[in-house]
Structure 1
Amino acid sequence: MAEEMFGRLVSIMMVFSLLLSVFTTRSCSDHVPLIMWSSEGGSLWTQDPPVAGHIVSRSQLETYLSSAFGSAPNSAPHTVLLFLQDRLSVDDITLYGGVFGNKQDSVFPNLETALQSSSSLLVLPSVSGSASVPEVLQGLLNVAPLSLDPEQLNELHLDVSSPALLVFRLPFGTGSNEMAPKDSLRENDRLMGNVLDAVKAQAVPYTAVYTALAPSWVTRDVNPAPQSVGRSLLQATNDVYAPLQILDNMGKVCILFWASNLTVSVLQSGQWQKADLTDKTFISSGVEKNGSCNASNSQLILKYGNILGFQTFQLTFAMSQRLYPVSARQWFTLDQVQLNYDGHNATFNGSDGITAPSEYSYHCQMVSSSDYPLLVPSTPTDNAKQWILTFTDFQIQGFGVTGENFSYANDCASFFTPGIWMGLVTSLLLLLILTYGLHMILQLRSMDRFDDPKGPAIAVPQND
């Protein structure tokens, strides 16, 4: 019976995982699972579980939990153990659990044992990350949360007569090695087992909640590359490396920058010398990144070492934000890209096309200072004439950043591309031919008069 109940748990999560992967874009989601169980017998949850694929909002979460922590005699114990992991997704439970695979390989032996021994189980496979489970529990219990290490619980005497919210933070490894998250989950399960054993030793009834602050698979596995398919709404980045992030004074991400290829070329002794900065910028951390952000201006500064023989080499992106009365909304523009090398400057002005609404990011398949340039030298005599900047799959956001991923992108590709124009002209030509043919057919008329075959025969006189 216990194994069947836990099997249903994982089955539900697998269905939710499949539906969410079909109907949502996992790279932009912030949904986490929530598992709640009680040491007391009886059914404590009066709300029906959500339908498959449903994302539980904060108000719905409050409804679910308030039905458990009521004033009725059979309400859940008000000693709440909140196991709050840094990152967790439904895929972690279905992938590393042992119900459908080798049970000896499961990383959740203590969690499975606790769930199997509890007859009151609430499973919410997809809870909105903005629901803030700790705040909801704090409001329902009307008690301040107490953060503890698992080892400190033995030193704490729990009072059954008063509610308590004990928060245990569980880290989550995100190494490149596939075993890193698995080992991290196994260690967290061991810590949960120690906490549950310590509570049982004090004979205190409890309600346990296992959830996370953010999903794990968003940053660990799924980071689709920006697509270069015309005007599209882009969000997320390449699956090889994450975007470059600049933090503000409050420690929040305020600038995001990404490119699949970042190349600079300089004219030296009559020949063009090229340097690829992609690896130094995004992969090997061979760049010193700085920046500044405020309500009207943002600046991204990338400082490199020896580039093309120059001892100092700095690349600066200057962005500004202003209100356009015509559209009645804020727009940001990339005003300048400046090179500083060994005391010399080369400044490129951004064209009018490098712009996007302030809550969007900007994306372009190719941003270059040559061949249909979007970057134009500031003056004819500027050193920028000796340089060529080429950014492939360029994407940047200097305002309105809400997380570690790009917002929807305003693409530089015009809506009416040459292919669209060719299709429209060809369709129009075929439509004209069809219209002319129909017109000719409609103009056909049948004869309304015929010769009478029964009339008098024609007499032809003959001369002898």
Structure 2
Amino acid sequence: MADRKILSCSIIFAVLFYVASFGKCNDQVPLMMWSSAGSPLQSQMPPAAGHIVSSSQLESYLKTALSNTPHNVLLFLQDKLSVDDFTMYGGVFGNKQDSAFSNLEAALHSSNPLMLPSVARPVANAVTGILQEQLDTSPLYMDPETLAQLRLNASVAALLVFRLPYATSADMMSAKEVLSGNDEVIGQVLSIMNSQAVPYTAVYTALQPSRVIEDSSLAVQSVGGRSLLQYRNKGSRRGGSSERARERSGSEPYPPVEFKEKDSPCILLWAENLTVSFLSDGKWKRHDLSPQTFGEGASVTLAGSSCSESNSKLVLNYENVLGFRSFKMIFAMSQRHYKVSARRWFTLDEVILEYEGKKATFNASRSIYAPAEYSYRCESVSSFRYAQLTPRTPKDAAKDWRVSFEDFQIQGFNLSKKEFSYASDCAGFFTPGIWMGLLTSLLMVLILTYGLHMIMQLRTMDRFDDPKGPAISVPQTE
């Protein structure tokens, strides 16, 4: 019986590797999902060989899987993981008894798991947020010791996140030792959940791949300095945003949304992900607008858009978004001359959502701005995490909406040759590393100054014993 279990697990990982080997391994990670005994996952059609799971597809998989499984979710989030790790250190080749994933293999064998060999890295990074929205609860970052002291309620949803390391440096533990240690953590967590008789659903994935195979056909040249998103007529872009998008999605990036006036482009918009969420019946309903906005299958229209020397407005018109037949997302921009800086600046004044005759307005002018001849780019723009977009008034309908843009870039003025201009990035100059270096240097300077001050305060004695004269005697009294 034990041999049959090992053989079954070997077949699972062999199939996992075989399916993944058809696809590009540029920047994908595997994802596995299973549940405790007695709660099998709902059967789902696995992705085609080589297919990279997108954000909307992963949401659909997780939503279907969670429809009839326990809502106590264990998320094992490893720093790095690739399918190659299972073939090299698992029970597929070599000694089956020496697998680095023994506890994981046993858990997968005991249920009907969901196996996704190729999930795009940014999508895997968003797993915590996706589960948080679907469970409507905040994540709790834990370790086995803390979990042992926690008493869970099977009727109350909980999202427990366990961070697992990964290192392959020569001066540290080998990759197999690290993976084996992570597998022991997984085994401890599952054992604690079983001892408390609490049903659970478990997810195992990573933030980035441990092995990246570069595809020379997608190689592009980067530009020096702070780079930008560029788009050529051949469908290729060069610069920072396009490279980042290509590295994340593993495919050639799509062109930006382009609005023309008098056959001349005047507004460009690009994002890796455009997402809106609406609060309905106490729960957030999420919709990814990216497939409707970018690429070959885009259905968005730009009716109502306009641009001039001082004001630009990009109107994205959608249909059937979160149950609303008509839905618009409007980017209102303006530019003017500022005497203090002696140059013109453009600002994204508002992001407006119009739906069924209602309007939700987000103010963005305080955080989204750039020189008029530049484009604006930011890794993440949202209205809820480190919000750059804020409701115009406390009573505005925007309080019922969440907006999130990933790898966002926009330009509404001074366009030329259908390309983004040099990008003004939202990233600050003083990064955490720079601050740490400055504070450490300041501390060392203070210590050195204090030491010099103490040395300068030393004084020599004003009287000394003369070695050539009679010795100083101190009479002793009884």
- Shorter-chain TM-score tier: 0.3 to 0.5
User: What is the TM-score with the length of structure 1 in the denominator?
Assistant: 0.47
Q: Determine which structure has more spread, i.e. the larger CA radius of gyration.
A: 1
